[in-house]
Amino acid sequence: MLIAAGIAAAPASSARTATTPSVGPEYGFSAGAGPGTVTTFGRNTLDRYFGSARSVGATLVRLDARRADRALAFRVARAQAAGLHVALIISLTGTRTPRAYASSCRTIAAVYRPRGVLRFEMGNEPNLRTTFHAKPAPKLWGAQQLACARAIRLVARDAHIVTGGLAPYGRYGSVALDGSAMNPLTFLQRAYRAGLRKAPIDAIGWHPYSFRANGTAADMLSTVDPASAWAQLAWTTPSLRSLMAANGDAGLRVDATEWGAPTNSGGFADGVTEDEQARLMTTGIAAWKTYPWHGDLLVYSWLDRGSSSSSREDHFGLLRPDFSPKPAAGAFKGAVGG
């Protein structure tokens, strides 16, 4: 029985029954959305983006699915034409009722499973107000995940369903004073208590970022720092894996649906060096492969969104905005065996 941090093991009856064959872990990229990303690219740039990612051994790309429209269908088709599998993030905010969200989930799964999409992620970073567009609400989120997962299963029984990827925020128990952010372990524990364990899922989504200005790969892959989202995977008390075990989910895998670090190139001062980003790819992917519960690992991101000296979001890519490679692109290829 798991008793650390007051977490009692769930009864055996709460353990999930497998509903789909195992989906092998894959490596690739989370593309992002907005200016400088795939959502604004024309066909030529889009094909260059997907083709260059495939050339370094990526086999999976994560795309935003706000609605089942023509623009999304085009991006999915071009990714598949480049030889990439697709994971769709079904957009979710704190303003959606579970019933309304389930309707969206069912529609997107019904449209895209016949088009070869197997992976569906139910939202993104619900423990942050900036992405959930409401204060983190574990009870509501648990109900949204349950409703969505059940809706997907109705139309795509063999789908690989992942909970919305949880973002780093401090150590266990940390909650922002204004309620705008919550530690992912704290958030998940509360969601489990609210019924998440009933959802027919295949993996927990997690974002094991742990970077700081001028940090090293060793810093970013620490398993002893209690505030590190990488350490919180399995080495803190509690950890993601201990929470999963306590709730009957020890047999499920963890999908890292975003991971990486921005570089301090292009006048941006708060990132890591390009060499350390490369070391992160080499060391992190090698470590990830050794974890028995590891699932997909998706780097955020493949291509820098821009070159602003003040926007962190512009510098996460393994390629610069002109598609020239940073050292991390070659490191990724070597690490995944591309």
Per-residue pLDDT reduced to its tens digit, 150-173: 999 999 999 999 999 999 999 999
Torsion angle of C-alpha atoms 207, 211, 217, 221, degrees rounded to 10: -40
Residue-level pLDDT at 266: 81
Residue-level pLDDT at 265: 85
Q: Identify the band that residue 8 occupies on the pLDDT scale cut at 50, 70 and 90.
A: very low
Residue 254 in tokens: 């963890």
Asked if residues 30 and 258 have their Cβ atoms less than 8 Å apart, the reply is yes
Mean pLDDT in residue range 230-252: 98
Angle between helices 274-290 and 327-336 (to 10 degrees): 10
Mean pLDDT in residue range 74-99: 98
Q: Measured between alpha carbons, how far is 209 from 114 in angstroms, rounded to an integer?
A: 33
List the domains of the chain with CATH numbers. Answer: 24-336 (3.20.20.80)
Average pLDDT, the chain: 93
Neighbours of 11 (CB within 10 A): 8
pTM for this one?
0.94
Asked if residue 338 has pLDDT above 70, the reply is no
Question: Is the Cα torsion angle 332, 285, 263, 311 positive or negative in sign?
Answer: positive
Mean pLDDT in residue range 16-45: 86
